[in-house]
Structure 1
Amino acid sequence: MSASPTHTAQASVSYALARNRLGPFAIGSAIASSVAPLTVITLVVPLALAATGLLGFPIAIIAVAAILMIYAVGYLAMARHIPNAGAFYAYVAHGIGRPFGVGTSWFALATYTSFQLCCYGAFGAAIGAPLLSDWLGFDVHWFIPAVLAWALVALLGANEVKLSGYVLVFLVVAETVLVVLYSLAIMLTSGFTFSGAAMSVGDLSGPSLGVLIVLGATSFAGVEQAVVYIEESKDPKRTIPVATYVTVAVIGAAYALASWVQISAAGPKPIDRATAEGADLFFNEAAVMLGHGAVTVGKVLLGTGLVAALLAFHNAITRYTFALGREGVLPRVFGRCTIKGAPRNASLAQTALALAVLIVYAIAGWDPLVQLFYWGSTTGGLGILLLYALTSIAVIGFFARRSYGENLWRRRFAPLLATAVLLVVAYLAVDNLAALYGVTPGTGPARIVPIALLAIFAAGTTWGLILRRTRPEIYEGIGRGARSATASASGLSAIL
């Protein structure tokens, strides 16, 4: 018996994201919000200086931008042929194998979750608590503002992407403008001169290369998310590449300039100032020219920028979870959407996880700025670097079987070059984890993080093998998105 119109409509509501909603600017704003320009300049840069003792952050940004431009060639070429909100997961499944695709999906979820959770720590400890304490006249625990941000993200994340898109556009434009204006103000301050040490290519050699590239990758985390929105974009073959390349170029230029300015203005001992002033360093430097009000305005916009990053990562995580639920790799309840195309069940699950982590940190009394923000963002940077390398290998495997009309540069030479560079840098990063986290070798996150990431990938891959043996109909649909066996069984294939 043929499916009724009602049944077909319900299937499309349950298993399809909202289509034709996002243009290049909206997607660019979403991924720029993930990289959070003001957060990187005011939090990542001084904390990285303090933890590693290295000044080469600006030159590392330029190097990472160049790597990403080459990496994106093959990555976006594959996206044209594998439109899937699961991105990394789908590409590895098609290019290397389905079990590894499932392992990659778990790894990607852990990486993005690490990025999102670290932003809660920064918002609560560096912005929310100090500002509220000043305004109210008594000490406010960091957990209070963190939960307020959590509630806002929960509300916006559970609704259609167009609503949160408006918020992201406004917030990312505001913080990017502030980074540029404050950088100009610092440069116009009497006595300012650029530091040659911060742009020395000497830092991009030996063990420090891996450390700086991970910190650079942390700063760009989210630029690959354009393809996560591919099912919701307008004219995806044009929209996704434009959003990706323009965002990498603009954000890379802003990062390199602003971090160079910040380090240069810190005087002869920038590492000591970064250690002492932390997130206030950039604002204090701008206040010399603009007055103390610049500090307050900067902190407010840093707070809104962190909320934007929280929302952007939340949206990316829920779309990964949705993609896995739609295909039956995770419980199918996560693969259902509201009538307006919002993956609400996946959103609520991520919201619950975030709250649980915040409660644990608050009860345990752990440092939200170092042990949640810096360690979390650094773990995310390491994870994203490894995901880039794995996906680049998958691109080579995918196009090795068929050209799909792509030229040699896009399907072979660029992916090979990107893979070689990424594997070398990833090795150096893993080999120097203690310097990256600023801890004694073999202790704390330098010991726990690689074991945890490997265990997550291995567990996901094992689950993929179990599905091959026990649920072959689901296994065959891995990485196929809306065309998966699960979606077909729901009746969705009839309308695609």
Structure 2
Amino acid sequence: MGSTGKTSSAAAPAAPGRTTGPDSQIRTFKGTERALRADRIGTPGLLLSVLAASAPLMVVAGVMATTYQVMGIVGQPLLFVILGAVMALFSVGYAEMSRHVHNAGAFYAYIARGLGGTVGAGASFVALAAYSTLQCGIYGMFGFEVSGLLERHFSLTVAWWIPGLLAVAVTGVLGALKIDLNAKVLGVLLCIEVAMIVVFDTSFAAQPGPQGLSLHAFDPATLGGAGLGTTLAFAVTAFVGFEQAPVYAEETSRPGTVVARVMFLCVGIVAVFFALSSWLIGVATGPDHVVATAGKYGPQLIFALSEPRLGTVFVDVLHLFFVTGIFASMLSFHNVVARYAFAMGREGLLPGPLGRTTKASGAPALGSLLQTVIALLVVTAFAVADDKPAGDPTAPVLQLFTWAGNVGAIGVILLMATASLAVIVFFVRRGAGRAQAPRLLCAALAALALLVVLGYAVTDFDVLVSAGQGSVLTWLLPSLIGIAAAVGLVHGRVLRARQPELHARIGLGNEAFQLDKAAGAATPATASAPHEEN
């Protein structure tokens, strides 16, 4: 059911022991300017937009090489298989939730529907902070790569933050345009990225290292070692992106079907593709030599392995499309942040004007502008701190990209674990626990696994951001997510005390919800309200 102009309603709260009925309803529809334009994007467009956020070339050339280099875990391919299973478990409950709740605030909307408006408010600020930091961090990698290309091919010395700031401006403009146009841009860039990876993967398989097509990397014994926990947390960042599909639910033609389909497709594609690529990197060097080779070449590992097999021209083209892949990821995350800001503005968690769309494009232009301003401030701050004449070559990657990326990953893992719990509570409270038992079991298992990963990520944060023991960064950076959660929880509590009707709308968006409607039709005098606080 899309936001097409029909009035939607949801039950309003009465008192803590709330009941609902025909005379106690909250109207949630606020007009077409408060709704994202429906039927803008179908299954192919949504799949491409979501996969673009996973930045396959950036993961293969950046994350995988760094993981082999720093963590020294040969079994990285097996780890992608294991994490793929965890993400699939998470997707079972998350996808079912997407059939009942269509809201651009996805994570926080689901959490609000299950755990109450106050917890939902906390989750909304965590989501905004997590995805904003993820997006801002990518500007560091983009600036670093572009400045490197200019130096290599044109002998131009350009500080990384100059192309970084230009990317902020271009992304901001595209983010205010129609989502179907964005999907086309992302789709073209993604297809090129995947084609490049397939080419060098094939070359690695055709010309393997001294151990041939060894399957040693899939031996569970390869996961031993002190770096396992940090490798696990690091690898999770490769999957970040698939969970964004419900953010676009209001803009799809059939959200109840398309969103769930895209999530499962995305998880399956990412798990298989990344497991295969990381295995073939080990094949190209030989499993016994992959860690040492990664230590020698660092982030240039893929390029160093490709050049003798495919030639200098291919490697130059690969560098170029590495940059375009990074840009595609930036644009994808920008679109997600803009829609979270829109959803929060529409429900009173942020200033109301953010909850409006433009008539021309149907896009959340002010939400896009907000993320552009945040990115501008962050990149500028790192540029000012970079006091070297031509820029510190390590700052954009080892600081902006690494710090922001891992802070964002912690936020997303926390949201996923909390959302899994919210899914269970949502269906149990509505009397659907027995019918949904298999899905709820999957959600419970996913929550436990994600909490384990979160524990590793927080306790080993010094390794994740390459900070020394005792560094202030080890607690300061993760605390940003804690601060965002605290601000959101306090804000939600204040709304509940001072504006209970506004608090009751948290997570409702511009849509009525299927289970509540069914429950209301069956027992209009006793159907439970949407946001009962624990």
Q: Provide the TM-score with structure 2 as the length reference.
A: 0.84
Given the superposition, is the C-alpha separation of residues 33 and 444 from structure 1 closer, same or farther in structure 2, using an over 3 Å criterion? farther
Are residues 190 and 427 of structure 1, via their aligned partners in 2, closer, same or farther at CA, if it must alter by over 3 Å?
closer
Q: Does structure 1 residue 67 correspond to structure 2 residue 86?
A: yes
Give 1:380's aligned amino acid: G
Conserved in 2, the CA contact under 8 Å of 1:477 and 1:483?
no
Residue identity matched to 1:52: M
Aligned residue identity for 1:215: F
Matched, 1:48 2:76: no
How far apart, in 2, do the equivalents of 1:374 and 1:221 lie? Answer: 15
d(CA) in 1 for partners of 2:222, 2:480: 29
AA in 1 matched with 2:373: A
Q: Give SS of 1:482's match.
A: coil
Alignment counterpart, residue 297 of structure 1, candidates 304, 313, 317: 317
> Could you tell me how far apart the structure 1 residues matched to 2:201 and 2:56 are?
12
Contact 2:427 2:436 in 1 (8 A): no
In structure 1, how many angstroms separate the alpha carbons of the residues matched to 2:473 and 2:136?
16
**Bigger CA drift: 371-380 or 287-296?**
371-380
Q: Distance in 1 between the 2:217 and 2:139 partners?
A: 29
Report the alpha carbon displacement of residue 199 of structure 1 after superposing the two structures with TM. 3.0
Residue 13 of structure 2 is matched in structure 1 by none
The structure-2 alpha-carbon separation of the partners of 1:41 and 1:74, relative to structure 1 and needing over 3 Å to count, comes to: same
1:294 and 1:348 map into 2 onto residues whose CA distance is 37
- Residue matched to 1:470: 498
Show CA shifts across 1:296-343 (max 9, x none): 111111111111100000000000000000011100010010013100
Do 2:103 and 2:511's aligned partners in 1 also have CA atoms closer than 8 Å? no
How many correspondences in the alignment? 475
Question: 1:407-444 CA distances to partner (integer Å, 9 max, x unpaired)?
Answer: 33454221122122222332233232233333333324
Q: Displacement, 1:174?
A: 1.0
What is the CA–CA distance in structure 1 between the aligned matches of 2:171 and 2:75, rounded to whole Å?
Answer: 34
2:373 alignment partner, one of 343, 352, 361: 352
Name the structure 2 match of 1:487.
none
* Cα deviation, residue 406, structure 1: 8.2
Provide the residue aligned with 2:171 in structure 1. Answer: 153
Q: Secondary structure at the match of 1:317?
A: helix
The residue aligned with 1:36 is 55
Query: Is 1:324 the equivalent of 2:344?
Result: yes
Note the C-alpha offset of 1:449.
2.4
- Contact 1:52–1:437 (CA<8 Å) still a contact in 2? no
CA deviation digits over 1:329-368, x for unaligned, max 9? Answer: 1000100100131000010111011011111111101610
| Kept in 1: contact 2:208–2:283 (CA 8 A) | no
Q: Indicate yes or no: 2:339 matched with 1:311.
A: no
Written as runs of structure 1 = structure 2, the 5 A alignment for 1:373-452 is: 373-403=401-431, 407-452=435-480
Report the alpha carbon displacement of residue 458 of structure 1 after superposing the two structures with TM.
Answer: 1.1
Please say if 1:185 is aligned against 2:206: no
CA distance in 1, matches of 2:126, 2:103: 17
Out of 22, 25, 33, the residue aligned to residue 41 of structure 2 is 22
The separation in 1 between residues aligned to 2:191 and 2:438, in whole angstroms, is 32
Q: 1:139 to 1:90 in 2, by over 3 A?
A: same
**Cα distance, 1:378–1:274 mapped onto 2, change above 3 Å:** farther
2:126 is paired with a residue whose SS is helix
Q: CA offsets, 1:380-414, max 9 Å, x none? A: 22222121111101111111112459833454221
Give the alignment of 1:115-264 within 5 angstroms: 115-125=134-144, 127-189=145-207, 191=209, 193-194=212-213, 198-202=217-221, 204=223, 208-264=227-283
> Aligned residue for 2:123?
104
Q: CA RMSD in A?
A: 2.1
Partners of 2:351 and 2:478 in 1: CA distance? 27
Q: Which amino acid aligns with 1:147?
A: L
SS at match of 1:80: helix
Aligned counterpart, 1:361: 382
Q: Distance in 1 between matches of 2:270 and 2:439?
A: 26
- Deviations 1:20-57 (CA, angstroms, capped at 9, x unpaired): 11111111111100001000001111222333333332
| Residue pair 1:207, 1:432 contacting (<8 A) in 2 also | no
Contact 1:399–1:411, Cα closer than 8 Å, also in 2: no
Report the TM-score, using the length of structure 1 for normalisation. 0.91
1:80 corresponding residue in structure 2: 99
* 1:153 CA displacement: 0.7
Structure 1 residues 295-304 or 51-60, which shifts more? Answer: 51-60
Deviation at 1:228, TM superposition (A): 0.4
The offset of 1:445, in angstroms, is 3.1
**Aligned counterpart for 2:132 among listed residues 101, 104, 113:** 113
Partner residue of 2:17?
none
1:132 match: secondary structure? helix
CA deviation map 1:166-203 (0-9, x unaligned) = 10111111101211111111221264524555434235
Task: Name the aligned partner's letter for residue 90 of structure 1.
Answer: A
Equivalent-residue separation in structure 1 for 2:105 and 2:224 (angstroms): 35
Structure 1, 144-153 or 204-213: larger mean CA deviation: 204-213
1:447–1:197 distance in 2 versus 1, CA, 3 Å: farther
Preserved CA contact (<8 Å) 1:283 1:294: no
Q: In the superposition, relative to structure 1, how do residues 149 and 432 fare at CA in structure 2: closer, same or farther (>3 Å)?
A: same
Counterpart AA for 2:127: A
Q: 1:270 to 1:207 in 2, by over 3 A?
A: closer
Query: Which stretch of the first structure deviates more once superposed, 211-220 or 79-88?
Result: 211-220
CA distance in 2, matches of 1:464, 1:450: 22
CA gap of 1:53–1:379, structure 2 versus 1, over 3 A, is: farther
> Structure 2: which 5+ residue stretches go unaligned?
6-28, 387-391, 513-534
- Alignment partners' CA distance in 2, 1:275 and 1:354: 32
Match of residue 492 from structure 1: none
Give yes or no for contact 2:99–2:257 (8 Å, CA) kept in 1.
no
**Aligned mates of 2:422, 2:296 — CA distance in 1:** 44
Matched residue SS, 2:279: helix
Trace 1:266-285 onto structure 2 (pairs within 5 A): 266-267=285-286, 268-285=288-305
